[in-house]
Amino acid sequence: MKAAVLVFPGSNREGDVAHALERVTGRRPQMVWHGAGDFDKADLIVIPGGFSYGDYLRCGAMAAQSPVMAEVKRRASQGVPVLAICNGFQIAAEAGLLPGVLMRNAHLKFVCHDVHLRVETSQSLFTSHYHGGQVIRVPVAHAEGNYFADEATLNRIEDRGQVAFRYCAPDGTVDGAKGSDANPNGSIRNIAGVYNEGKTVMGLMPHPENAIEVMFGGVDGRALFEGLVEALA
Amino acid sequence: MKVRVHVTLKNGVLDPQGKAIGHSLNRLGFAEVGEVRQGKYIELELAETDKAKAKARLDEMCRKLLANTVIENYSIELVG
């Protein structure tokens, strides 16, 4: 699997996700600078975490309009899979690749700790190595992860199975209560990750790339990359 | 011409920053303060003299970049 990792001024998790991809695929991904209007063919495009363009205007808003994102949108429309993590999720949402928007955390604090996620379905490129309803533990690190969409959009994405992950208690319970322990940021309906309609683009706030080594406290993120390798090899 | 753009959160969208500002004002003795909503104010200098054209261009700028219409409303004021 050939992967491309985008790099914006202010990205800071591109090295982490490149490492995760290399560990699982044995190949170093190409790193693509934000000004690039074109880049080598890739089986997977990753938009990494960080603070692209200093989060100016709105987080992800400037990056969403960069030359490289025009090319990513073009490729995504042709079905090239896109994995958008944390700031990448904010960028993909601002670019219109994914429904909804990420707002300031409801309690206004930066959150940086492990969370539990319920995998909503195994029927996707990204989650085929998990099973539906499985609970995984991965870290979050963000101040703007409060997922929001209007009621009509939420109902539509729920009906189409576009919710990828929900914040949950360790036993998998999703109580939906804002500000509860299981919901680190106030996300509506506890949504931590979503797909586009074709399920070829996935965005999530947590960092699966930081949960691939036992030494760093957990390996629950590894199956996401392993599933992608199998699907896209 | 000079243009002023106000970007505000739509009704029903939670505004935790506005809430925090409201609480602080209450604590400072401004007990009369009720709900507070925080927004953005953007000032632009535009090389355009036709007001209708300017309005149309600003509308496009707001939809493309200045506001996220999923959660925000915008208003455009041509100062002339």
Task: Give me the pLDDT at residue A177, please.
Answer: 54
- The predicted-structure confidence for B2-13, as pLDDT tens digits, reads as follows 999 999 999 989
Radius of gyration over alpha carbons of chain B, in Å? 16
Query: What would the CATH number be for the domain defined by B2-78?
Result: 3.30.1280.10
For the sheet containing B40-45, what is the strand order?
A: B40-45, B2-9, B72-78
pLDDT band at B14 (very low <50, low <70, confident <90, very high): confident
All structural domains of chain B with their residue ranges: 2-78
Q: Say yes or no: B66 contacts chain A, CB-CB below 8 A.
A: yes
* Alpha carbon of residue B29 to chain centroid: 27
DSSP string, A107-154: T---EEEEEEEEE--S-STTTTTS-TT-EEEEEEEES--EEE--HHHH
Cβ-nearest to B65 among A61, A107, A148? A61
pLDDT of residue A181: 57
ipTM attached to this prediction: 0.87
pLDDT in the model for residue A182: 87
Question: Is A209 an active-site residue?
Answer: yes
Choice among A14, A59, A86, A129 that is catalytic: A86
A168 catalytically annotated: no
Averaged pLDDT in 10-residue chunks for chain A of 233 residues? 96 97 94 94 97 95 96 98 98 98 94 96 97 97 96 97 96 69 90 98 98 92 96 89
d(CA A215, CA B77): 56
Residue A233 has, within 13 A of its CA and on its CB side, a CA count of 9
Q: Do B70 and A57 touch (CB under 8 A)?
A: no
**Tokens at B57, concatenated:** 């261009």
Q: Do B70 and A150 touch (CB under 8 A)?
A: yes
Q: What backbone phi and psi angles, to 5 degrees, belong to A177?
A: -75, 125
* A186-198 b/e (C-beta count within 10 Å ≥ 16 → b): bbbbbbbbbbbee
Closest partner residue to B17 (CB to CB) among A57, A104, A150 is: A104
DSSP per residue over chain A, as a string?
Answer: --EEEEE-TTB-SHHHHHHHHHHHHSSPPEEEETT-S-----SEEEE--B-GGGG-SSTTTTGGGSHHHHHHHHHHHTT--EEEETHHHHHHHHTTSSSSEEE--TT---EEEEEEEEE--S-STTTTTS-TT-EEEEEEEES--EEE--HHHHHHHHHTT-EEEEEE-TT------TTSTT-SS--GGGEEEEE-TTS-EEEESS-GGGSSBGGGTB-TTHHHHHHHHHHH-
Question: Is A107 one of the annotated active-site residues of the chain?
Answer: no
CB contact under 8 A, B17 and A186: no
* Sequence-separated (6 or more) residues with CB below 8 Å from residue A93: A60, A99, A100, A101, A102, A203
What pLDDT is recorded for position B12? 87
> Closest partner residue to A148 among B20, B65, B71, by Cβ?
B71
Q: Provide the whole-model pTM.
A: 0.94
Distance CA(A120)–CA(A141), nearest Å, equals 22
Q: Give pLDDT tens digits for B21-53.
A: 999 999 999 999 999 999 999 999 999 999 999
Delineate the domains of chain A, giving CATH numbers in brackets.
3-232 (3.40.50.880)
Which class for A48: exposed (0-12), middle (13-18), buried (19 or more C-beta within 10 A)? Answer: buried
